[in-house]
Amino acid sequence: MSDNEDFLHNEEAIRQDPDNLIKSNDPNHPANLICTLCEQFYHNNWCTGTAGGISIKHSKYDHIYVAPSGVQKEKMKKEDLFVLNHDGSKILRSPKFYKPSDCTPLFKACFNVKNAGAIIHTHSQHAVICSLIFKDEFRISNIENIKAIPSGKTDPVTGKSIALSYFDTLKIPIIENMAHENELVDSFHEVFKKYPHTTALIVRRHGIFVWGPTIEKAKIFNEAIDYLMELAIKMYQLGIPPDCPIGDEQKY
Amino acid sequence: MSDNEDFLHNEEAIRQDPDNLIKSNDPNHPANLICTLCEQFYHNNWCTGTAGGISIKHSKYDHIYVAPSGVQKEKMKKEDLFVLNHDGSKILRSPKFYKPSDCTPLFKACFNVKNAGAIIHTHSQHAVICSLIFKDEFRISNIENIKAIPSGKTDPVTGKSIALSYFDTLKIPIIENMAHENELVDSFHEVFKKYPHTTALIVRRHGIFVWGPTIEKAKIFNEAIDYLMELAIKMYQLGIPPDCPIGDEQKY
Amino acid sequence: MSDNEDFLHNEEAIRQDPDNLIKSNDPNHPANLICTLCEQFYHNNWCTGTAGGISIKHSKYDHIYVAPSGVQKEKMKKEDLFVLNHDGSKILRSPKFYKPSDCTPLFKACFNVKNAGAIIHTHSQHAVICSLIFKDEFRISNIENIKAIPSGKTDPVTGKSIALSYFDTLKIPIIENMAHENELVDSFHEVFKKYPHTTALIVRRHGIFVWGPTIEKAKIFNEAIDYLMELAIKMYQLGIPPDCPIGDEQKY
Amino acid sequence: MSDNEDFLHNEEAIRQDPDNLIKSNDPNHPANLICTLCEQFYHNNWCTGTAGGISIKHSKYDHIYVAPSGVQKEKMKKEDLFVLNHDGSKILRSPKFYKPSDCTPLFKACFNVKNAGAIIHTHSQHAVICSLIFKDEFRISNIENIKAIPSGKTDPVTGKSIALSYFDTLKIPIIENMAHENELVDSFHEVFKKYPHTTALIVRRHGIFVWGPTIEKAKIFNEAIDYLMELAIKMYQLGIPPDCPIGDEQKY
């Protein structure tokens, strides 16, 4: 096994042995990081019973790593992963025992249309409950953690992404669930048009998809949103609308 | 100690030293896996105070492994296990300090009638609460995780088990608890007749039994059902019937 | 350091070096087990902010081990422990930096009057909340985990302790809190008289004390009772009296 | 790398290589302890999505260690830390990739005005919810854990800090949140005047700041307060005012 990533991701090396794509020892290489994060997410009750998934695009070589369908997320090994080419049109490496996740077309849509570097999909109960108490979009206002989420605007001088402000309202669209995950592709594309700046979407009675330019960002967005959904449910149960103006809490 | 499973499960070897049945070093051998899973389940609040249990049938040699009665599940060692023959009619190996779990006849019923490969029994508070708010059966509809549970139907072409669809209702029967677990055998057999496709049953004010063709499947079913019971309680508390049609949430 | 427990607990050895009392390497020796359990209980939210404590009497030599006052329970080391003689009347070994826990007289009462082998004291929020919703005693009926608690009766043939039955009601007395823990001694003795069979008592707005003939038993009792208090609060919130008869749940 | 702390904190050594300030191997050295605690706090849901932070002043050399802005708290390494001089007026050591936390001016205010040895800042949901159900101050009375918090009074004989009594009311001021954390400095100074004895302040819809003479004390205060806020929310949901007199619970 070699740590030479240039070699491991080289076209000729992949042709000779597709398993080169999963041979890196770097814990931050997608092949290793997907497994670490799936185990962590399992313990958050986000991926029990084989639910949920993660896909990461290698930041240098653009190979796409995807967790397979039906695997216990807390025991997943890098040998279980699929690897696709840069736009997901070709499978470069397959595991022995599994078939590709039904989420693969959804992940591809996020990679290709939203230029995502990683997508996290969980069955978080906070997302499911929010999809039951909110109608078309999840809304929460004036909570510090909102500042972890990008506004979609860019600083004209530095070119850097501008985050939401404490005084903003975070809005995450909710789409209807279908019998099979691949039937959700059209709804994903509609969301991309209607909410061009959103970095997440909730699927009613199912879970949430969160993406970002890197896996680090996607993980931070996902944690912040999950925290905010948990908080919104508590506010709702206390009779405080999660998107009410500051100072209006006492009215409820 | 040898890893030669053929030898360890050989009739002559067992006769000479019944402890051969618990000598495998393979972490997925029933003797080891029961201990790992019991510790994990303890931390889920499913098996505190010696409650709950697991039984696994060896997939090749058909020996049945059972956690004993009264042991702290987070500290259980393979030396504490009972091993029975293929139909549970004979004890092949006993631990020094414990007596067989009162659940043993219930496990045997699942192995022999339902052709189970493993049974998980927890005192999950979600199961106990669901047994208080539901009457004869637990019901939940239109949640993605329902798709982890088998419908009982089989694909006529591939012969594979067909899972419940997102649009289905998961129904798990609830039986009354008795003074002693072995008195539940008759109710188990009634459930097997009335709900031929169920993979689980809830015992009121007690807990849940979940079985499957393998321990991997039983574990996935148990996690998915526990997730769904937890969600159902939250829906109930929000005034949303867990089995209401999609779109009816706003009515409540 | 020696593992010869006979030597370490020998009077002459203790006189020469009281630290012999904490030198055992056996993980089940009280000096080691108190630290392991305190760390575990910390992660249960039972002992945060230096709250709570454990005391264990050595099953053979009768030396009493006590966690000190004011120590972070998740970082406690055996060097931090006090060791007392068999009835707690003499301190045999003191740590450098701490003073004895204010609970010490309460632990002594349980050792001397109730013949306890170990006492667990937690600030479990379940105990505090139960002390707010119950008046003079905590009551819960017809839940499987009640069977983990002794009834106080003894089998006349085997001489073994008989556990509560599923159809029984578990009753745990609640006493009023005082400014200092040592002022609770009188109330402890009143409980011992009024509830001769109880294995636990709740201190209102404070926490719970659970004792047993061994630390294994005390730990099992404490886990079972904590589970039952958690469940009772959930039942109360759903409008179901925790001690209502089976079948009466639907009335509420 | 050397463990000679006198050397590592020596002015000349720092001038030659500022990284000397983070080279100690002692797990209780601020450079190491901040990382350990941030990881622990992450798993408490206090610091997810890069939220929250800790600052510790070295008890002997007075150098101030601060977690940077925007780092994943569960993966933080000592190389990521800023080190400031004794009053925070000068940056002695900077990490490569991060900018100073926006909390830095708030931490400096606590160090310089309150003579703090450490400050813990979390986005605990208990703090956020308490800031929604309480108006100007969080209040809770007659709970044992209140005794972990200092009253602000000092024993005239021993000179030691006197803790709150069980019969006292803990009051923690709540200030309004601003768009940027550094805008909170004025409100911090107002709190210091109006509540000269408080060891914590809640920022509405944001989180909590807790300080103490040492990191051990700040950690204990933070845990006790978080426990009390959690309990207060449960009491509020049960209709029991968290600051009601003992015995008044039954009225609600």
> pLDDT tens digits for B6-62?
889 999 999 999 999 999 999 999 999 999 999 999 999 999 988 899 999 999 999
Fill in the DSSP letter of residue A144.
G
Nearest residue to B81 (alpha-carbon basis) of B56, B61, B60 = B56
Residue D110 located in a structural domain: no
Extended strands (E) in D71-123: 82-84, 91-93, 118-122
- What share of chain A has pLDDT > 90, as a percent? 88
Do D95 and D131 lie in one domain? The reply is no
Do A217 and A134 lie in one domain? The reply is yes
What are the tens digits of pLDDT across the range D164-211?
A: 999 999 999 999 999 999 999 999 999 999 999 999 999 999 999 999
Contact C146, C138 (CB under 8 A): no
State the residue for tokens 């069980």.
Answer: D166
Report chain A residues whose CB lies below 8 A from the CB of B224: 48-49, 51
Do A235 and A130 lie in one domain? The reply is yes
Q: Does pLDDT of D120 surpass 90?
A: yes
pLDDT score, position B228? 98
Do A157 and A53 lie in one domain? The reply is no
Residue B123 marked in a binding site: yes
Return left, alpha or beta for A120; rule: phi > 0 is left, psi -120 to 50 is alpha, else beta. beta
Main-chain phi, psi angles of C141, to 5 degrees: -130, 150
B26: tokens are 């393979």
Q: Is the dihedral of CA C104, C105, C110, C115 positive or negative?
A: positive
Final residue of a structural domain among A69, A101, A133: A101
Quick one: pLDDT band at residue A4, thresholds 50, 70, 90? confident
Quick one: pLDDT band at residue C2, thresholds 50, 70, 90? very low
Fill in the DSSP letter of residue C80.
G
Do B83 and B3 lie in one domain? The reply is yes
A and C in touch (3+ CB pairs within 8 angstroms): no
Question: How far does the CA of residue D15 sit from the closest CA of chain C (Å)?
Answer: 36
Final residue of a structural domain among A51, A73, A101: A101
Q: Is the dihedral of CA A126, A131, A133, A137 positive or negative?
A: positive
Question: How far does the CA of residue B131 sit from the closest CA of chain C (Å)?
Answer: 10
Contact A143, A234 (CB under 8 A): no
Residues 6+ apart with CB under 8 A from B159: none
Quick one: pLDDT band at residue B97, thresholds 50, 70, 90? confident
Residue A106 located in a structural domain: no
Residues 6+ apart with CB under 8 A from B247: none
Fill in the DSSP letter of residue D100.
B
Contacting subunits of C (3+ beta carbon pairs below 8 A): B, D
Chain C contacts to B (CB-CB under 8 A): 142-145, 148, 165-167, 216, 219-221, 223-224, 226-227, 230-231, 234-235, 237-238, 240, 246, 249-250
Residue D107 located in a structural domain: no
Fill in the DSSP letter of residue D94.
-
Q: Does pLDDT of C193 surpass 90?
A: yes
Residues 6+ apart with CB under 8 A from A238: A252, D129, D132, D133, D237
Residue A111 located in a structural domain: no
Residue C180 marked in a binding site: no
Contact B191, B208 (CB under 8 A): no
Contact D184, D102 (CB under 8 A): no
Catalytic entry in D144, D176, D230, D249 = D144
Do D49 and D138 lie in one domain? The reply is no
Number of domains present in the structure of chain C: 2
Final residue of a structural domain among B50, B75, B101: B101
Main-chain phi, psi angles of C78, to 5 degrees: -65, -25
Q: Is D144 a catalytic residue?
A: yes
Quick one: pLDDT band at residue C250, thresholds 50, 70, 90? confident
CB contact under 8 A, A250 and D135: yes
Mean pLDDT, residues C194-213? 98
Substitution target in B43, B141, B161, B166 with the highest count of A β-carbons within 10 Å is B166
Residues 6+ apart with CB under 8 A from A163: A147, A148, A149, A150, A151
Do D179 and D131 lie in one domain? The reply is yes
State the residue for tokens 């308490």.
Answer: D130
Do C20 and C76 lie in one domain? The reply is yes
Report chain C residues whose CB lies below 8 A from the CB of D227: 45, 48-49, 51, 123, 125
Contact A239, A252 (CB under 8 A): yes
Main-chain phi, psi angles of B147, to 5 degrees: -65, -10
Residue D111 located in a structural domain: no
D and B in touch (3+ CB pairs within 8 angstroms): no
Report, as residue numbers or ranges, the catalytic residues of C: 144
Single-letter amino acid, residue A108: K
CB atoms within 10 A of CB C45: 18
Residue A192 located in a structural domain: yes
D111: tokens are 């160090």
CB contact under 8 A, A205 and B143: yes
The CA-based angle B59-B65-B69, given to 5 degrees, is 155
Residue A252 located in a structural domain: no
Tell me which chain B residue has its CA closest to the CA of residue C237.
B237
- Alpha carbon distance C97, C132 (integer Å): 36
Residue C66, domain extent: 1-101
Mean pLDDT, residues C156-182? 95
Chain A contacts to D (CB-CB under 8 A): 142-145, 148, 165-167, 216, 219-221, 223-224, 226-227, 230-231, 234-235, 237-238, 240, 246, 249-250
Residues 6+ apart with CB under 8 A from A17: none
Do D1 and D33 lie in one domain? The reply is yes
Nearest residue to C99 (alpha-carbon basis) of C39, C209, C182, C202 = C182
Q: Is B186 helix (H, G, I), strand (E, B) or coil?
A: helix
Do B204 and B135 lie in one domain? The reply is yes
- In DSSP terms, which residues pair with B207 in a beta bridge? B203
Residue D202 located in a structural domain: yes
Report chain B residues whose CB lies below 8 A from the CB of A48: 223-224, 226-227
The average confidence (pLDDT) of chain A is: 94
Residues 6+ apart with CB under 8 A from C22: C31, C78, C79, C81, C83, C93
- Alpha carbon distance C57, C213 (integer Å): 10
Nearest residue to C210 (alpha-carbon basis) of C150, C142, C134 = C150
Strands C169-175 and D53-57: unpaired
Do C239 and C129 lie in one domain? The reply is yes
CB contact under 8 A, A216 and D72: yes
Do D97 and D127 lie in one domain? The reply is no
Interface size B-C, in CB pairs within 8 Å, comes to 64
Fill in the DSSP letter of residue D250.
G
Supply the CATH number for residue B41's domain: 3.40.225.10
